[in-house]
Amino acid sequence: MHERLSFYVKRDSFLHRLNPLTKLTLVFGLILIAFGSPWYWTPHGIVLLVIFPLSFLGKVQREYFQAAVRLILPAAGFLFIMQALFQPGGETALLRLWLLTITQESLLFAFSNAMRIFVMVSSFTLFLLTTHPSELMSDLTRRGLPGQFAYVIISTLQIIPQMQAKAQTIIAAQRSRGLDTQSSFSKRVGALVPLVGPLVFGSLVEVEERAIAIEARGFTSRRLKTSLYEIPDSALDRALRWGLIAMVVASLASRFLVD
Amino acid sequence: MKFISSIKKDFNTMTWVLIPVAIAINVVMGQIVVLLKLPVYLDSIGTMLVGALCGPWAGALTGTLSNIIWGLAIDPNAFPWWPVAFFIGLVTGFCAKGGLFKSWWKVVITGFLVALTAAIVSTPIAVYLYGGITASGSSFITAYLLQTGQGVLQAVFSTNFLVEPVDKISTALLAFAILQGLSRRFLARFPRPENVQVETGAGRTQLFIAIGVVIVLVLIAAFVLVRILG
């Protein structure tokens, strides 16, 4: 129950070995290109020619497609249906349903929007599947991110599962005492207080002890700390990062040139 | 320089340790609410707690990291909404600094101001990133407004304006109730304990003021909506 909360899958692949910053650049690069590029087919091309092959290159294709079906497709699909139905404008009517008209324009608009969201969420998912959170944080700390930020992110990822377990215990305990969590609306609102109270007060009490503990271990010290693990940053990584930045600039520039 | 040093003062070790706990409270509360099937989110209680106790910038940081971690660990769809969480923490912090976190009717005003900010900030994200219709349930209202011939910006903003106040006011009231339950000795360890010291006043006058404030807020809301829609 006390394991860390993350998508990370431990494998040995090219994508896993890349420096975390390179992968982060890749994520933001893909998103910016998908949203910035003036050509209609860019987001679709990115999905088919970049994201799908990358998932195989990272040996996480099974996990990626599972996440895509479970998390990304429902959101993108809902977005697509809603926008295709309700986006006003467009002349070529394809289908009339009661009051709603699906036009060719609204369908194309909805499809490209859904694909952009698909690119955005997919590239983050791929990043999370191949990068361990503490690896990312220690690399960013080495590059000058204040240690406090790394502490906040890593310890939150540890606290959330603990607190979820605590919440489960509290819910079970209060139910066994006869707390009604399922019937009428007013009863469910009333159930909020006996559930939230113990959970929140219990976790806030620990704050003070933890503050004293990390203070005693030099948390606010400004000195550079040494690290047990070295995270590789090869020449290939640097080349990839600059290449990606150049591509983002090119796609944004082409947008202004085309307009 | 005075500005930066005042921010530094807000980030003591207690603040840095409170932030992860507050983020976890955000996440777990969001899930408890789903379990109880209540029609609100209540996923920024922790952000508001930090905003009130440790100042606006700590609140803003909590909100931002909260969304980043939500995206990292639970649902990558949460990333693009971080500016909304940023401003929820920031506005709560400034309201608390101005003394609007000291009695329950003032907290209602805080909640209303936060809701207004959240509605304004989330509108451009919904419009430019998602084309107006997002993957949340309230988009049906937006879709209806679009069909009646509204512009995208107006439709999204009026939807947010209808949905946000209920959620943010109840969030603010819950955060206030939690702060009231904590001991003064504990609160004194944080940078801004004076923000949440309760005012004692005559109960009856307070109640009248509260009712008056709520009526005025509803009137303002109705006025703004009519202006947008009309």
Contact B147 A155 (CB under 8 A): no
Phi and psi at A174, nearest 5°, equal -70, -35
Chain B residue nearest residue A99, CA to CA: B147
Contact B181 A153 (CB under 8 A): no
Which residues from chain B sit within 8 angstroms of residue A73, using beta carbons? none
Task: Answer for the pair B77, A75: CB distance below 8 angstroms, yes or no.
Answer: yes
C-alpha span between B110 and B91 (Å, rounded): 8
- Write the pLDDT tens digit of every residue in A71-100: 788 878 877 887 777 766 666 666 666 666
pLDDT at B230: 57
- Write the pLDDT tens digit of every residue in B43-74: 899 999 999 999 999 999 999 999 988 877 77
Task: Answer for the pair A89, A101: CB distance below 8 angstroms, yes or no.
Answer: no
Q: DSSP alpha helices (H): ranges in chain A? A: 14-17, 20-36, 42-46, 52-57, 61-67, 73-86, 104-130, 133-142, 147-176, 185-215, 235-258
Least confident of A45-54, A82-91, B15-24: A82-91
pLDDT at A1: 33
Contact B69 A153 (CB under 8 A): yes
Contact B20 A159 (CB under 8 A): yes
- Write the pLDDT tens digit of every residue in A138-186: 888 888 888 888 889 888 888 988 899 999 999 999 999 988 888 888 8
Contact A121 B146 (CB under 8 A): no
Minimal CA separation from B15 to chain A, in Å: 9
pLDDT at B200: 66
Of A35, A71, A156, the CB nearest to B69: A156
Task: Answer for the pair A198, A170: CB distance below 8 angstroms, yes or no.
Answer: yes
| Confidence band for B1, pLDDT divided at 50, 70 and 90 | low
Q: What number is the average pLDDT over the span A64-68?
A: 87
Of B13, B68, B130, the CB nearest to A219: B13
Task: Answer for the pair B93, B55: CB distance below 8 angstroms, yes or no.
Answer: yes
Contact A159 B21 (CB under 8 A): yes
A219 CB-contact burial (10 Å; exposed 0-12 / middle 13-18 / buried 19+): middle
Q: What is the ipTM of this complex?
A: 0.81
Minimal CA separation from A200 to chain B, in Å: 7
Which residues from chain B sit within 8 angstroms of residue A51, using beta carbons? none
Which residues from chain A sit within 8 angstroms of residue B73, using beta carbons? 5-7, 157, 160
Chain B residue nearest residue A193, CA to CA: B174
Q: What number is the average pLDDT over the span B192-214?
A: 75
Return the number of other C-beta atoms located less than 10 Å from residue B223's C-beta.
10
> How many contacts does A have with B, using Cβ atoms within 8 A?
165
Q: What number is the average pLDDT over the span B105-115?
A: 89
Minimal CA separation from A123 to chain B, in Å: 10
Contact A88 B24 (CB under 8 A): no
Does pLDDT of B203 surpass 80? no
Contact B69 A71 (CB under 8 A): no
| Confidence band for A2, pLDDT divided at 50, 70 and 90 | very low
pLDDT top residue among B113 and A70: B113
